[in-house]
Amino acid sequence: MSSSVITVAEEEEDGPQIPLLSPNEENLFSHSNQEQPRLVSLDVFRGLTVALMILVDDAGGAFPSINHSPWFGITLADFVMPFFLFGVGVSVALAFQKASKKTTSTKKVLFRTIKLFFIGLVLQGGYFHGRNHLTYGVDIDQIRWLGVLQRISIGYFLAGISEIWLVGNTMVDSAVTFVKKYYVQWMTIHFGSEILDSILITEYVGGRRLHQVVEFCIPKLHIEM
């Protein structure tokens, strides 16, 4: 028997108590007890979102009413990606709410972001030409750099960095302390949104793609004589 294992011996009434576990085993059990349980409601929400994604992908062609809306309006398929982003945001808030080592947590967020972006690039970047074709490869000019998974990875990175570095240590017990805890995040999101809107307006409205927006938003009128 290994010397690291302490067996249980019969004790005398006034004799010393013998520990049941070795120090290494005690550390193992104490570490396992510190692990937070999974949030069942979030797992159920993720599963329902995946089921919804499969439904709209397979049945969207047969039932246009649940397929993606071309521009105005909203359909069932338009809820899939926001649901995924909501799940990512909740997971980030739970995982990094007590990040003791910010540098280590940042490296973890960066690694997961790169991994998810790469997976999205392989699956949705145009490497596979179709289900019934055995050809593969990609045209670098036509590659889809910002597919669904790539966008989710960027959102995960921004949310993770914000949760690790921009959240205060204020204990939330009222509306005022809630604002004090998260106001830096809100300001960052606000200014980031303003910068993104400026880039989009400059690129599409004030730039060379204005005619594409006009053709997409204002369909041609067909008047029968």
25 falls within a domain: no
**At 128, is the secondary structure helix, strand, or coil?**
strand
177 falls within a domain: yes
H or E stretch at 31:
helix 23-33
pLDDT, tens digit (0-9, with 9 covering 90-100), for 81-137: 899 999 998 988 888 876 678 899 999 999 999 999 999 888 776 665 555 555 555
62 falls within a domain: yes
* 123/104 Cα distance (integer angstroms): 29
* 164/167 Cα distance (integer angstroms): 7
Output the six-digit token pair for 168.
Answer: 């205060």
Give residue 101's pLDDT: 85
219 falls within a domain: yes
Give residue 49's pLDDT: 93
* 35/28 Cα distance (integer angstroms): 11
* 137/127 Cα distance (integer angstroms): 5
Q: How many domains does the chain have?
A: 2
To the question of pTM greater than 0.85 for the whole model, the response is no
Does the pLDDT of residue 73 top 70, yes or no?
A: yes
Q: Which of 60, 95, 130 is the last residue of a domain?
A: 95
pLDDT, tens digit (0-9, with 9 covering 90-100), for 42-71: 999 999 999 999 999 888 878 888 888 877
Burial of 142 (0-12, 13-18, 19+ CB in 10 A): exposed
Give residue 181's pLDDT: 84
Q: Which of 63, 95, 127 is the last residue of a domain?
A: 95
Does the pLDDT of residue 139 top 50, yes or no?
A: yes
Q: Which of 151, 153, 66, 69 is nearest to 109 (CA)?
A: 153
Q: Which domain holds residue 55?
A: 40-95
H or E stretch at 163:
helix 148-165
**At 136, is the secondary structure helix, strand, or coil?**
strand
22 falls within a domain: no
142 falls within a domain: no
Phi, psi of 136, rounded to the nearest 5 degrees: -150, 175
Helices within 166-202 (DSSP H only): 175-200
Q: Which of 65, 95, 125 is the last residue of a domain?
A: 95
158 falls within a domain: no
Does the pLDDT of residue 173 top 60, yes or no?
A: yes
pLDDT, tens digit (0-9, with 9 covering 90-100), for 9-25: 444 445 555 444 455 54
Does the pLDDT of residue 187 top 80, yes or no?
A: yes
* 193/168 Cα distance (integer angstroms): 22
224 falls within a domain: yes
